[in-house]
Structure 1
């Protein structure tokens, strides 16, 4: 809290300690917190009660066999709380948000952090810092419970407006997930006061990968944005290109380093085109920006750096050099300095072959991208990235913006401007090529709706089988001819296994007629990188179909998408 406001609030609690103690003790913990206790209170572990007041809740958790740290900035109220809890498993600290100096000094992580009737006292400008401190104190899988007071403020102690929407925004920035929001009336029967309780969780995949990655994102020192660029590239591949895995061996996943470098180029293009500083030293250039490479691809857009594209002549030479420069930068900088806690053992292992290859044509398929080297990551981190990327990426973007705002040349830029230049440039949602193919085929035979079998005459749609709104993919295998009424019924849902099975022959027929020709190489290149379980040289539409159904199951589970 601001020192002046914090002092006024603490003085109020000191002066009124006895009456407030009696007020708090007039209610039980079950009365105040019963709506979430059963589902979210831990059965064992350590609880942090921030703003513990009379010690009522701290005493409740101690009686349940939990170890409790009770934090109370009011000396007088804290003494009364100590008299209630005694000398058992409740340890009292005189501390407050957003500082939490004494709490952090304990170097503990908590299964539950309770912030009850406190958040409205914290000025809005201090809340991001306060929330970050709380998030960093959670164990993986731990719960953060914050109660929000709505209604008429108390004139004797500073109070500020609060909202669940604000907590949701802060949660996205710190990689937490909202489990539940609970509305309740005031247990003291004050008609002008209402409450909301927000239950948040630090996700845990059971391997420790999530807190490890979150620690790299939020807590690691960063003299440049390289670490963030590497992590985001890997997350984007885990989410959008599960078929890029070259091998899984002894608990590690190996990817083509060229693909990571391509995604690296894609995200830096907008930033560097706008002259946004990316390292703490404005006079020192970025290692991958060279005259022979990056400076010669300035005429491309970020969307040009897409799997399946082909470059020729000088463009091919410049991009080839750029991908080599980026690969070496990744090896020398972020991969070298991202290590397991308390050791010098690197998390991301990079191997780059010796090569003098200077292609006249550069086709960005898996075989080409693997020539630049390999990067291997722990399998637990890869699987966690694939599952939780939609939660992690907002925290990564927030941290990237915070890092950039500290750099000298970026101080005049507003936060929303920086975020705009970090927007991922997805594939353009276009069906033009597919519609042209449908018209071509309809001249000699009737194209059928893959879901119903009806002939497409007159108006029709091109369906993104795996919905573009949830997984932006415009690959040829994902675009299927469909009746307009059926597409409207499907909406942004994923077909059931039964619907896939009933439609299999029609899907295979469409793929064979449409793409087994001049677009065959593009079709299989896109499928081999975007779909799991293929062998990277697949040229079988049956194998692509099986991989499509596997990806549909994977996407439905990861994003909880409704089946159709």
Structure 2
């Protein structure tokens, strides 16, 4: 930022800024203010506060509330001394604390050891050079309370002369949102283009409200701390967090039970499932991409045993999923790979992930010895044989609710970690790191309906088929629809694929069926499940059908074989997706 320009022009600029009201400039996000100001200990920071118009308005609002127990504090940061002094005059007698400080370091502000409910960045972002933006937003994110918001107003239409004089740089909404996502922030509001209130014809503004997720427990900041700040001698910690996130996001039915403890309830998962996903995410990284996961130049990790992992080099990550059957030598090798992975999880990340400033371990493992056999069907029952994995319920809920915001942070940190390792020196340059991101792409279920279509066509040759949603008779032209939209929740399980009229499916697209719509389709959906997959003549299909459903949907036991219970769980999952993602209903 050009402090000299603003110091020299303060007498000209100040009247312009003060001629506009707070509502004129910030009306598109001001509706968030009352809830923040009602907090008894709210803290608010204005970075680049200028001549104090905005902090003066906020301080006035606080004064009008006149709540005896309200100890809100307002801080104003301004790098240009003359602007700061003018701001101090503007807010004289008000409860505003001024600091001469600047991004990206914000040294004086950081030394206050205060975190903030609201950080305002009004007409500042374009002053920050591109090379300093990632660090600047990271610094601001570190100053946020859980649930806190950063308001960023973005200026567009700057002339070349203005950019030169004021040291401004080109900006974009997409850049800010991408940086925010990598820091675990999500975009709460993105305003439409707004005309410049000072009447400059080519100038317009956009506002972003970025928020730090908050589950009300502090679990999200802990996860973020492990992902971003914690020491990493290998990628184990990131791997475990990502495994747990993927289970929380996609396998609500994986919870064996909840147990009370002195520090709150804990969630119990099958250790074998954690180990399976551990293998799933490391498999292609190591065997296919050849990426090192430790700082030294040895590719071997503790779970890569000759009689287990190294016997499965012909397999890909896609093979290690619920509902798959391993037989013969592959089954025995997988038994051993799961056992080795379970022990590695126990001895490495679980041992070293502790509560902040404490030796207390966050995750607990109760491992059991499992003898290798020549057949292994991957379902909840079989994966429980390896023992149990325990984590705080608050952490589970944070992973469950905020998966789409946490995962980019984990992936970003994993890329940085791998790029720093000696064995991955070919990928250390920034122009090569996109290859690391590609390698870390999670092997999602394939969006394929081929097998289900074949089953439909077989049934259609001997009986009349109907659209699950409309009851229309289906003939040659039909679709296989994901009842829970695949684009919002990637699930290609048998229970989630249903026959649909093509026009109906086109109308539904990626919308979430309403509870009323789903209930209306219950009888037809259950008839399709029973006729397609639950025929006693094909026990393998039935076994796969319930294995997938019982671990993906909430509240089902591993032994469930009731489609009535399955449908009730589907209704629960529908509600979860609606609540977490606010999807449009159909």
**In which range does the TM-score fall when normalised by the shorter chain?**
over 0.9
**Bigger shift: 417-426 or 287-296?**
287-296
Distance 1:303 1:362 in 2: 16
CA distance 1:278–1:26, shift in 2 (3 Å): same
- Say if 1:79 and 1:544 are closer, same or farther in 2 by CA, change over 3 A: same
Give the corresponding residue for 1:342.
357
1:172, distance to aligned residue in structure 2 (A): 1.1
RMSD, aligned α-carbons: 1.9
Question: Quick check: 2:493–2:548 contact (8 Å CA) kept in 1?
Answer: yes
Aligned-residue offset at 1:303: 0.2
Secondary structure of the corresponding residue to residue 232 of structure 2? coil
In structure 2, what is the equivalent of residue 515 of structure 1? 533
Quote the Cα distance in structure 2 between the aligned partners of 1:453 and 1:59.
63
Q: CA deviation at 1:552?
A: 1.8
**1:487 maps to 2:496:** no
1:259 CA displacement: 0.8
2:418 to 392, 401, 404: 404
Partner residue, 1:96: 102
1:55-204 matched pairs, under 5 angstroms: 55-65=52-62, 66-86=72-92, 89-151=95-157, 152-153=159-160, 154=162, 155-182=164-191, 183-204=193-214
* 2-structure distance, mates of 1:538, 1:204: 34
Does the residue aligned with 1:371 lie in a helix, a strand or coil? Answer: helix
State the SS of the aligned residue for 2:447: coil
Residue 288 (structure 2) pairs with residue 276 (structure 1) = no
Shift of 1:405: 2.0
What's the counterpart of residue 26 of structure 1?
Answer: 19
Confirm or deny: 8 A CA contact 2:339 2:370 kept in the other structure.
no
Determine helix, strand or coil for the equivalent of 1:459. Answer: coil
Q: Name 1:317's counterpart in structure 2.
A: 332
In 2, are the aligned partners of 1:135 and 1:174 still within 8 Å (CA)? Answer: yes
Aligned length: 556
For 1:441-520, what aligned pairs fall within 5 Å after superposition?
441-516=459-534, 517=536, 518=538, 519-520=541-542
Contact 2:292 2:298 in 1 (8 A): no
The structure-2 alpha-carbon separation of the partners of 1:86 and 1:408, relative to structure 1 and needing over 3 Å to count, comes to: farther
Partner SS for 1:412: helix
Q: What is the distance in 2 between the residues matched to 1:71 and 1:303? A: 51
| TM-score normalised according to structure 2 size | 0.91
Within 5 Å, give how 1:289-300 maps onto structure 2.
Answer: 289-300=304-315
Q: Tell which deviates more after alignment, 220-229 or 521-530.
A: 220-229
Partner Cα separation in structure 2 for residue 487 and residue 23 of structure 1? 55
Instruction: Please state whether the residue corresponding to 2:166 is helix, strand or coil.
Output: coil
CA distance, structure 1, for counterparts of residue 6 and residue 580 of structure 2? 47
Deviation digits for residues 271-318 of structure 1 (CA, Å, limit 9, x no counterpart): 112121222233473222222222221110110011111112221121
SS in 2 for 1:336: helix
Of 82-91 and 413-422, more deviation after overlay is shown by: 82-91
Correspondence for 2:66: none
Change (3 A) 1:488 1:26: closer
Secondary structure of the residue aligned to 2:14 is helix
How far 1:167 moved relative to its partner? 1.1
User: 1:35 & 1:541 partners in 2: Cα distance?
Assistant: 48
SS at match of 1:339: coil
> How far apart, CA to CA, are the structure 1 residues paired with 2:75 and 2:482?
52
The aligned runs of 1:45-60 (5 Å cut-off) are 45-60=42-57
Q: Which residue does 1:429 correspond to in 2?
A: 447
In structure 2, distance between residues paired with 1:148 and 1:454: 51
Q: Which residue of 2 aligns with 1:327?
A: 342
Segment of structure 1 superposing worse, 333-342 or 238-247: 333-342
Distance, in Å, in 1 between the alignment partners of 2:452 and 2:215 is 40
Shifted more, 199-208 versus 301-310: the winner is 199-208
Give yes or no for the alignment of 1:36 onto 2:46.
no
2:69 alignment partner in structure 1: none
Contact map agreement 1:464 1:474 (CA 8 A) in 2: yes
| CA distance 1:478–1:138, change in 2 (3 Å) | same
Give the C-alpha shift of residue 322 in structure 1.
1.2
Gaps of at least 5 residues in structure 2 are 63-71
Structure 1 residue 522, shift from structure 2 partner? 0.9
- Once residues 459 and 197 of structure 1 are traced to their aligned partners in structure 2, the CA distance between those partners, rounded to angstroms, is 47
TM-score (norm 1): 0.94
1:3 aligned partner? none
Q: Is the 8 A contact 1:18 1:77 kept in 2?
A: no
- CA drift at 1:233: 0.8
Match status 1:372 vs 2:372: no
User: C-alpha separation between the residues in 2 aligned to 1:186 and 1:396?
Assistant: 38
8 Å CA contact retained: 2:296, 2:423: no
Q: CA deviation at 1:232?
A: 1.0
484-493 or 275-284, larger mean C-alpha shift: 275-284
Q: Check the 8 A contact 1:533/1:547 in 2, yes or no.
A: yes
Displacement, 1:526? Answer: 0.9
**Cα distance in 2 for residues equivalent to 1:521 and 1:532:** 18
C-alpha displacement of 1:130: 0.6
Moved more, 483-492 or 256-265: 483-492
Tell whether the 8 Å contact from 1:288 to 1:326 is kept in structure 2 after alignment.
Answer: yes
Q: 1:485 to 1:333 in 2, by over 3 A?
A: same
Structure 1 residues without counterparts, runs of 5 or longer: 1-5
What is the CA-CA distance between 1:537 and the residue it aligns to? Answer: 0.5
Per-residue deviation, 1:430: 2.1
Deviation at 1:88, TM superposition (A): 5.2
Q: CA deviation at 1:407?
A: 2.0
| CA distance in 2: counterparts of 1:432 and 1:184, whole angstroms | 48
